[in-house]
Structure formats: C-alpha cells, structure tokens
Chain A
C-alpha cells in the first residue's frame, strides 16, 4: 500500500482568506482525489487530479473556489479560497492503488473558518 502525508492536520482561518492543503504520497500514482467531509456527514468528492492535466471537478465544486495543483506523480495541493464558515470541514486526499488495496486516505485536514 501507500503512505499519504497530508498537512496541515488542522487550522483555524479567518473568513475571506485562503488555505492550501498539501498531500504527499510515497509512491507514484496516476490519480489523486480530494474529498470534503462536512461535520456529521459522509465524504463528498471535490475533484480528481491527474498529473499533467486540469483537475476534473464534481458538480457543485468549481476551480475558482478549490484550485488544485498536481505538479508530479507524488504530490498535489488543494486550496480553499475566500473561505467562509460553511467551508469548515475535514478535507482528505486519497489515491487509488487498484482493487488490491482500494482507496488509501490521508489523515485529513480539519479546517475551521471563523
């Protein structure tokens, strides 16, 4: 399997500011995924990030709000822009290692916007 390092693990941010979350994988992967888990809810896919191409966003998520970078096969960032209290969530990155391992997740970034 793979080890995913995600940081920061938590942050408290002022509304109107932006936060960039980093995700580092210890092996090369084609696809990386960013999820949001709002308080008391399940995981919602924000976007899929492939190296060398624009991220693919799910319905309800836009690039201006959640810009994603994928500069190489082991690293990705998600930025939460112009934050509001409604953005307070856990953000998780994930990689698909194939059916033998399923999706592997980072430990998450717990974001609180005040």
Chain B
C-alpha cells in the first residue's frame, strides 16, 4: 500500500520568499515520487520526479525536492517565489508497475 500526505492545503508566501511545500509518503516498496503543478483550468504538469537516483531532484521553473528516506519526506522548495508560481501542487507516489496515488494538493498563493 502507498499513500502521500501533503501538509497544508493552502500556503501563502510573499513574492521573492522561499517556497516550501511539504509531502510525506508511505510505501511498502522503494517509492517513485512526483510533484505536479496544476494551473487554473488546466491539466497537471510534471515538475520533477524521484526514481531512486540522486536524492536531490531539480525540476522545471526553479523547483527542487529532496528525498529523505529517514523522514519519509519529499518536500518541494523554490528559493524565491514568483507571481507565476501561484497554482495547486500535488505530490504523488507510485509509477512503474504501481498505481500512482496523489496527495490532496496544496494551493500556493504568492503575495506581491
């Protein structure tokens, strides 16, 4: 069985501030982990993925995430928020031969 928990359904940051979106996972096998972004009225776009290679993963738009097995975490960060980062972000676990399970999402608000 596998699951993800995203802490905080809404996060607000000031433009230029650090973005930190939290994700903890549970998986009975070594996990594949993903972060997706959904802009209003659009589908999901893959930001980055962890597939058992480097634990620090860099994605698009300046985002990165670090896989920490001891903490079962895969938090998403960006050093400096931009107005265009306002969207909903989903953490997901699975892939390969396993069904992908999505977290409940975190809406990021960027305050000018």
Listed in ascending order, the chain A residues whose CB lies under 8 Å from chain B are 4, 6, 41-43, 45, 48, 92, 94, 96, 99, 101-108, 110
Contact = CB atoms under 8 A, between A and B. Distances in A.
Interface in B71-112: 90, 92, 95-96, 99-100, 102-105
A45 B99 CA distance: 9
Contacts of B99: 45, 48
B105 A42 contact: yes
Given A99-B32, A103-B46, A108-B43, A41 B104 contact: yes
11 contacts: A43-B44, A92-B44, A99-B49, A99-B51, A101-B46, A102-B49, A103-B44, A103-B100, A107-B42, A108-B41, A110-B41
B42 A108 contact: yes
Interface of B: 32, 34, 36, 41-46, 49, 51, 90, 92, 95-96, 99-100, 102-105
A4 B46 CA distance: 14
Contact of A99 (B36, B45, B96): B96
B96 A43 contact: no
A43 B102 contact: yes
Nearest to A109: B43
B7 to A, nearest CB: 14
A99 B32 CA distance: 8
B56 to A, nearest CB: 17
A64 to B, nearest CB: 22
A42 B102 contact: yes
Among all A-B residue pairs, the 4 with the closest Cβ atoms: A105-B43, A105-B44, A107-B43, A43-B102
Nearest to B100: A103
A31 B44 CA distance: 18
